[in-house]
Structure 1
Amino acid sequence: MVDLVAHAQQAPSGALSFGMVAGEASGDLLAGLLIQGLRQRWPQAQGFGIGGPRMAALGFDAWWPHERLAVRGYVEVLRHYRGIVAIREQLKQRLLASPPDVFIGVDAPDFNLDLEAHLKAAGIPTVHFVCPSIWAWRPERIEKIRRSVDHMLCIFPFEPEMLARSGIEATYVGHPLAQTIPMTPGRAAARQSLGLDQDRPVVALLPGSRQSEIEHLVPRFIQAAQIMQKKQPLLQFVLPAIPSLQAVVQSLVDAQGGLSGLHVLKGQSHQALAACDVTLIASGTATLEAALFKRPMVIGYHMNWLSWQIMKRKQLQPWVGLPNILCQDFVVPEFIQDQCTPEALAKATLEWLAQPDRVDALQTRFKLLHQTLQRDTANLATHALEKVLGA
């Protein structure tokens, strides 16, 4: 546990200091892109808080690793509640003791909004990057956002107007991933880099990066892959896993009897998406990544029963996956909770491989979505921060 008497290294005179919290692998990626933009504007900027390896590689001082916050589901959060609250309280005390010029919460709204409310009340400017999905579920969060956030950086174009109606300043900055993912991904190069056969179909299995997702989805995804392989023996499978969970993933694969032709990757989720013909994927940010890679997908999700009962009552839209929400249509199939069976997942995944015309139509739609989300995110976010700071 971090020593409370330790304080952040003071930034050089005139340099920007920023507190930041990114709570999982996708947040680490988004925060890393934002830090690059901050460093272009403020070369000696120093950041500290909670983050992952991409942030650390950019000089970010991670007092706690982002995996400590990577928990999804009401019951799962309750199990880790005391530890998460303890981290937030210690982080709050450190930031209040050595106030940064600005605090930037990257996603993780359940953790960040409460923290931001305390920091804002103490006079520390607060910016939140990625508007919580109040348009999809939990609309009551709008009041908490108003209390907590000086400025919201939005990744979807319809969000600033929605927030403005509630008196919340916001800027549409595009989705950072739309800049980093090429409009036409190179499948052949990705397969070569992963040691895959160029002429055999590839299915990417992306069960998520949270411990609860791994436990609930890896067995289902592996069983689905086994069903697929019996029907199409030439299939190759790739399963990216963050380093800290690789052993857990492999043990769960082994518990299902293994899967020939499976490559468990050390991270490398983007290479997996570039290499694949279709992906079986957990609901979350990764589904948008798959859409930007123009890959057909089958979305699956399963969680603790009680968590699901609570969550489904707060759902405002018929869709769960981001590609479907953004397209306002079931452009890709979703199998959630009781529907998330290996048989259903396998059948829907194989259907994509058998329907090239359907894949072509989906890729056209995803290209238009990509163009809508493609903006100079780092530069737009930096300009918004300048306004907040009066710089």
Structure 2
Amino acid sequence: MPLIYLIAGEQSGDILGARLMHAIKARRPDIAFAGVGGSAMAAQGLDSLFPIRTVALMGLLEVLPKIFQLKTLLKQTVADIKHRTPDLLVTIDSPGFTLRVLRALQPTTIKRAHYVAPQAWAWREGRVKHYPGLWDELLCLLPFEPAFFAGHGLSARFVGHPVLESGAETGNAERFRTRHAIPAGAKILTVMPGSRQTEVSRLLPILEATIRLLPEPVIPVVPLAGPVEAVVRQRTTSWPIKPILVADTQGKHDAFAASDAALTKSGTSTLELAVANVPMLVTYRINPISHQIVKRVVKVKYASIVNLLLNRQVVPELLQYESRPDRLAAELHRLLTDPDAAAAQRQGFAEALTLLRPASGTPSEAAAEAVLSMLPSP
């Protein structure tokens, strides 16, 4: 039975990995899986080597206290791969961990695919010189990435963005309002603070203060990401209006359908909201020292993928020192009360999402085809 070893380092990668596994099994039921993943990959049959929350870190100062633990996990992962000798290794995003695994394996005869291209086009382009030899196939989610890597002598394949398979657009607004007894005229605000402990801890106080400053009350809804669920539940108890906490996927999508707007961190959540057609305001903060380092190497103008795809600001962004409750509340109030602002965003969403589709099939099917092409035929 052919063995594919997968490594995901955070919740978004876990979801990607689960969809990839499902698409692979539909084509090759004889495939076995091993590796590192979360609950979504476990549901597809993966027995994870260790919990992914132990490697879901972000930012220089956040990583440093965990450096010895991360080194131990890295050695454990590499040893497991060498012991199992899989037919194919698929590393999924989380370059801070997965690329270290790939480097530690060299030299190796194991076929390797890396799923989700490192964002060297956004910052620290010089990293590209370290990539040759790390993988045999690079699977890209964004349409402009293959050309970027080709410019550095690296082949890459666009497979489409799996957010198109998320079902984010399938929610039922009436069901959500009825379930939570929300009056017909009440404004609903989806709040998405992230899935990492560090970003949630930093953003939640800002988001709470923003809601307090809104001139008109809203009903906040917070979708819960597994790794930070306990933190979010505990830190939202002080909010002026008790938020509706949503733990299941259908509930999240119903919340999207019912929402008038969203206040979200940058990242994949912005694409989820675009698929659901929810006008949004994007914000983010990192440790000030990490920010001083990052701002010297970032090359792109936007943090939102929607804005990046269209090369114009469709979604307003208030980042780092602009991520202040007074600024956020003013911009959010405009979005909640100005139909033209919301309509302009929705038009931009439609343009951006068209660019994320693969040539045929779903993104996960395209990724599965690419992965299986690296294995001998059954």
Residue 237 of structure 1 pairs with residue 208 of structure 2: no
**Counterpart amino acid of 1:155?**
L
Cα separation, partners in 2 of 1:30 and 1:311, compared to 1, 3 Å: same
CA-to-aligned-CA distance 1:139-176 (integer Å, 9 cap, x gap): 12212322311101111111112222323232111101
- Output aligned runs, 1:200-279, within 5 Å: 200-228=186-214, 231-233=215-217, 235-254=218-237, 257-266=238-247, 268=249, 269-279=252-262
Residue 388 of structure 1 pairs with residue 346 of structure 2: no
CA-to-aligned-CA distance 1:257-276 (integer Å, 9 cap, x gap): 33224112225444433331
CA-to-aligned-CA distance 1:358-379 (integer Å, 9 cap, x gap): 2112112201222221332222
Deviation of 1:183 (Å): 5.6
Q: Which residues of structure 2 form unaligned runs of 5+?
A: none
Residue 37 of structure 1 pairs with residue 23 of structure 2: yes
Hey, what's the Cα distance between the residues in 1 that align with 2:135 and 2:151?
15
| Contact kept in structure 1, 2:122 and 2:298, CA below 8 Å | yes
Cα separation, partners in 2 of 1:251 and 1:383, compared to 1, 3 Å: closer
Residue 60 of structure 1 pairs with residue 41 of structure 2: no
| SS of equivalent to 2:124 | coil
Hey, what's the Cα distance between the residues in 1 that align with 2:184 and 2:87?
51
Cα separation, partners in 2 of 1:311 and 1:44, compared to 1, 3 Å: same
CA-to-aligned-CA distance 1:311-344 (integer Å, 9 cap, x gap): 1111001212222111211211111111111111
Cα separation, partners in 2 of 1:273 and 1:66, compared to 1, 3 Å: farther
Residue 6 of structure 1 corresponds to none
| Contact kept in structure 1, 2:170 and 2:253, CA below 8 Å | no
Residue 285 of structure 1 pairs with residue 268 of structure 2: yes
Residue 324 of structure 1 pairs with residue 307 of structure 2: yes
Cα separation, partners in 2 of 1:368 and 1:75, compared to 1, 3 Å: same
Cα separation, partners in 2 of 1:83 and 1:105, compared to 1, 3 Å: same
Q: Pick one of 117, 125, 135 that aligns with 1:149.
A: 135
Residue 78 of structure 1 corresponds to 64
Residue 5 of structure 1 corresponds to none
Cα separation, partners in 2 of 1:92 and 1:197, compared to 1, 3 Å: farther
| Contact kept in structure 1, 2:171 and 2:255, CA below 8 Å | no
TM-score w.r.t. the length of structure 2 is 0.92
TM-score w.r.t. the length of structure 1 is 0.90
- Calculate percent identity across the aligned residue pairs: 30
Residue 157 of structure 2 corresponds to 171
Residue 351 of structure 2 corresponds to 368
| Contact kept in structure 1, 2:89 and 2:110, CA below 8 Å | yes
Choose 243-252 or 171-180, whichever is displaced more.
243-252
Give the number of equivalent residue pairs.
372
Choose 145-154 or 193-202, whichever is displaced more.
193-202
Hey, what's the Cα distance between the residues in 2 that align with 1:193 and 1:62?
35
| SS of equivalent to 2:373 | helix
Residue 47 of structure 1 corresponds to 33
Residue 337 of structure 2 corresponds to 354
Residue 26 of structure 1 pairs with residue 12 of structure 2: yes
Residue 4 of structure 1 corresponds to none
| Contact kept in structure 1, 2:236 and 2:242, CA below 8 Å | no
**Counterpart amino acid of 1:124?**
I
**Counterpart amino acid of 2:239?**
G
CA-to-aligned-CA distance 1:6-55 (integer Å, 9 cap, x gap): xxxxxxxxx33111111111111111111111111211322222111111
Residue 11 of structure 1 corresponds to none
| Contact kept in structure 1, 2:196 and 2:227, CA below 8 Å | no
**Counterpart amino acid of 2:112?**
T
Residue 323 of structure 2 corresponds to 340
Hey, what's the Cα distance between the residues in 1 that align with 2:243 and 2:52?
28
Deviation of 1:217 (Å): 0.2
CA-to-aligned-CA distance 1:283-327 (integer Å, 9 cap, x gap): 111112112222111111112111111111110012122221112
Residue 297 of structure 1 corresponds to 280
**Counterpart amino acid of 2:84?**
S
Choose 294-303 or 176-185, whichever is displaced more.
176-185
CA-to-aligned-CA distance 1:61-81 (integer Å, 9 cap, x gap): 111122111111111011211
CA-to-aligned-CA distance 1:225-247 (integer Å, 9 cap, x gap): 1222xx213x2110122344333
Cα separation, partners in 2 of 1:79 and 1:352, compared to 1, 3 Å: same
Deviation of 1:106 (Å): 0.8
Q: Which residues of structure 1 form unaligned runs of 5+?
A: 1-14
| Cα RMSD (Å) | 1.9
